[in-house]
């Protein structure tokens, strides 16, 4: 089996990959500042014989390995981290901080597993390059910046990505989630939700805390708006239309005895249906504007769009092809169909713009024993840290082994026999 032969030297490569992973985890970088990560990626791809293009979409890196006639297969990983303070207690935990675009000093953490994605793709690229006699076609290793709501996929595409790679025949990717390590989850059709994010400024009128009648209190206004926004999903979205609205940040004021002159909200809405998302966004605007009017705001609220992700929709035929390759390699028990996930990604942009089918799957990263115990106790949500948690820490083994193997197996479904 060609895939098994490509992976034969994975045990030998694993210690080096684990060292790369721990290094990346300890040195996270925010969107569009992934310079150190991009440098590591570019250097390793060049060592393995890829044609490397840096700086696509600011910090994106693309490696192209042309290996005779056959399809063009894109394997994608994202590189950016989050402004989260790590609390895992790991020996390689991040203690890094940076100054963000607002001038605020923030902690940094790979709280969404992008360090796993980068390491697995570097491993897959290395093994594929070392086994070029076993496959034919063009392999593209795509390392994307700024997935975390900053439009990295769109920016790479606008910066000439497909001029470098050519039109792909398939785009493949994976994301680590808090499922048991050693397992893979797939789903034909809708896999991840559409998501829209906004910053909103609500205007009040500043005053002394002893004289609320002389001001317009934006804290009370914000509180009313946050509570009323929750009625959108509860009372405006049908029971068979899955949706989530989250206010992730609320900032107002400086002192206990000062009524501030504004409050800031950051929020997101998610759904698997773009029409539902559009209705929710319209409702958000209607409710916030109405609450401002009811509070007597001196100015209308201001909305700034943060991101707008389309749903990630897996091509059904290509998904079944990938799932078959994964089962053949990992075994039936390790590969299963899963429900759609309400999280969002911009991975789908690559397939949508290029016209190529795309497949995205879930890579398990949780300790299998801890997951089994939590499942038995009915406490998975409480005991198993999820993405974006300061406690999120995929186990190194077998997460990396499975992640590298899954990328190779999926890619070889197209490259192993040259079929597009």
pLDDT, one tens digit per residue, over 64-94 is 999 999 999 999 999 999 999 999 999 999 9
pLDDT at position 200 is 98
CB atoms within 10 A of CB 323: 23
Is residue 417 pLDDT above 80, yes or no?
A: no
Residue found under tokens 């509180």: 223
Is the pLDDT assigned to residue 381 strictly greater than 80? yes
Calculate the alpha carbon distances from 122 to 33, 130, 167, 171, 262 in Å. 20, 12, 22, 16, 47
Whether the per-residue pLDDT at 209 is higher than 70: the answer is: yes
Residue 418 is predicted with a pLDDT of: 58
**Average pLDDT estimate for 318-332:** 97
Which two three-digit tokens encode residue 51?
């044609």
Q: 3-state DSSP call for residue 150?
A: coil
The model's confidence at residue 310, banded by pLDDT at 50, 70 and 90, is: confident
Residue 254 confidence (pLDDT) above 90: yes
Please tell me the distance from the alpha carbon of residue 352 to that of residue 310, in angstroms, as a whole number.
10
Strand extents, DSSP E, 57-95:
60-67, 72-78
The pLDDT value given to residue 35: 98
Strand 51-56 vs strand 60-67: parallel, antiparallel, or unpaired?
antiparallel
Q: Who contacts 250 (Cβ-Cβ below 8 Å, separation ≥6)? A: 222, 226, 263, 264, 265, 266
CATH class of 2-193+311-415: alpha beta
Residue ranges with strand state E in 325-357: 335-337
pLDDT at 386: 96
pLDDT of residue 307: 86
Residue 91 to residue 15: CA distance in whole angstroms: 17
Whose CA is closest to 315, among 150, 188, 181? 188
Question: For residue 244, what pLDDT is reported?
Answer: 96
**Mean pLDDT for the chain overall:** 96
Task: Kindly report, as residue ranges, where domains of CATH 3.30.70.360 are found in the chain.
Answer: 194-308
| 208 labelled binding-site residue | no
Percentage of the chain beyond pLDDT 70 is: 99
Termini Cα distance of the chain: 19
Strands 105-107 and 97-99, how do they pair? Answer: antiparallel
CATH 3.30.70.360 for the 194-308 domain, yes or no: yes
Q: What is the largest CA-CA distance in the chain?
A: 79
Task: Determine whether the annotation assigns residue 120 to a binding site.
Answer: no
For residue 72, the model assigns a pLDDT of 98
Q: Is 112 a known ligand-binding residue?
A: yes
Q: Where in the chain is the domain with CATH 3.40.630.10?
A: 2-193+311-415
pTM value? 0.91
pLDDT exceeding 90 applies to what percent of the chain? 95
Task: Tell me whether residue 175 is annotated as binding.
Answer: yes
pLDDT at 150 over 90: no
């Amino acid at each position: 089996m060609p895939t098994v032969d490509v992976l034969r030297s994975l045990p030998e490569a694993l210690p080096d990959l684990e060292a790369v992973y721990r290094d990346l985890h300890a040195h996270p970088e925010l969107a569009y500042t992934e310079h150190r990560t991009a440098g590591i990626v570019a250097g390793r791809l060049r060592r393995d014989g890829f044609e490397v293009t840096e700086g696509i979409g600011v910090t994106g890196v693309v490696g192209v390995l042309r290996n005779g006639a056959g399809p063009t297969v894109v394997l994608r990983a994202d590189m950016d981290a989050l402004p989260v303070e790590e609390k895992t207690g790991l020996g390689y935990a991040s203690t890094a901080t940076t100054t963000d675009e607002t001038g605020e000093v923030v902690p940094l953490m790979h709280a969404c597993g992008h360090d796993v994605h980068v390491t697995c793709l570097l491993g897959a690229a290395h093994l594929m390059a070392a086994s070029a006699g076993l496959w034919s076609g063009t392999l593209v290793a795509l390392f994307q910046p700024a997935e975390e709501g900053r439009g990295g996929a769109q920016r790479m595409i606008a910066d000439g990505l497909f001029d470098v790679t050519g039109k792909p025949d398939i785009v493949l990717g994976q994301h680590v989630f808090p499922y048991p390590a050693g397992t893979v989850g797939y789903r034909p059709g809708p896999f991840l939700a559409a998501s829209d994010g906004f910053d909103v400024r609500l205007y009040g009128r500043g005053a002394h805390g002893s004289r609320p009648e002389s001001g317009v209190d934006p804290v009370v206004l914000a509180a009313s708006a946050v509570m009323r926004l929750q009625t959108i999903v509860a009372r405006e979205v049908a029971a068979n239309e899955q949706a989530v609205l989250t206010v992730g940040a609320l900032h107002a004021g400086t002192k206990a005895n000062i009524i501030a002159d504004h409050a800031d909200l950051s929020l997101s809405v998610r759904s698997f249906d773009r029409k539902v998302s559009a209705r929710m966004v319209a409702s958000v605007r209607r409710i916030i504007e109405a609450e401002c009017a009811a509070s007597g705001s001196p100015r209308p609220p201001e909305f700034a769009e943060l991101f707008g992700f389309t749903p990630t929709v897996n091509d059904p035929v290509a998904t079944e092809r990938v799932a078959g390759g994964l089962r053949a390699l990992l075994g039936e028990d390790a590969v299963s169909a899963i429900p759609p996930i309400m999280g969002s990604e911009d991975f789908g942009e690559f397939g949508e713009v290029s016209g190529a089918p795309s497949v995205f799957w879930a890579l398990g990263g949780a300790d299998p024993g801890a997951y089994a115990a939590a499942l038995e106790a009915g406490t998975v949500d409480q005991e198993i840290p999820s993405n974006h948690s300061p406690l999120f820490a995929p186990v190194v083994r077998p997460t990396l082994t499975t992640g590298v193997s899954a990328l190779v197996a999926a890619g070889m479904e197209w490259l192993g026999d040259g079929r597009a």
